Amino acid sequence: MRDLDVYQKAFKTAMEIYKASKTFPPDEKYSLTDQIRRSSRAVYANLSYEWRKRRYKGVFIYKLTDAAQEAAETKTCHIDKTTFARLDESYEHISAMRPTMAKKADAFCH
């Protein structure tokens, strides 16, 4: 799993978000900071979960969808334009990989 490009990109992006979130205003600690950290971690966590459950095609595709939903949620958090543009590009790439994996689910699942 950790060798897959989509997982590596999701993990790297979550680490970038964590680093960026350290600069958020203190009054955002329990709202924006917490939410963006949790949703960004959920992207690679769901990818990891689906990989371990790939024995079941339905679960595999379901968790791929969960990962895409978490990426979309992360992108809705309001952050500065420069950071958003960089992270948006990463999540667009991750989101583009998901349908390909879903279409090839039979090749991944066993």
How many CA within 13 A on the CB side of residue 39? 18
pLDDT in tens, 60-90: 788 888 888 888 777 767 667 777 788 778 8
Q: pTM of the predicted model, to two decimals?
A: 0.73
- Distance between CA atoms of 61 and 104, rounded to whole angstroms? 10
Domains assigned to the chain:
5-105 (1.20.1440.60)
Statement: residue 1 has pLDDT above 80? no
Tokens of 34: 């917490």
Q: How far apart are CA 88 and CA 78, in angstroms?
A: 12
Q: Coil, helix or strand for 77?
A: coil
pLDDT number for residue 59: 80
Task: For residue range 32-45, list pLDDT tens digits in order.
Answer: 888 888 888 888 88
Half-sphere exposure of 55 (CA within 13 A, CB side): 2
Round to the nearest angstrom and report the end-to-end CA distance of the chain.
14
Alpha helices (runs of H) in 77-108, residue ranges in sequence order: 81-103, 105-108
**Per-residue pLDDT tens over the stretch 5-35:** 888 888 998 898 898 888 888 887 778 888 8
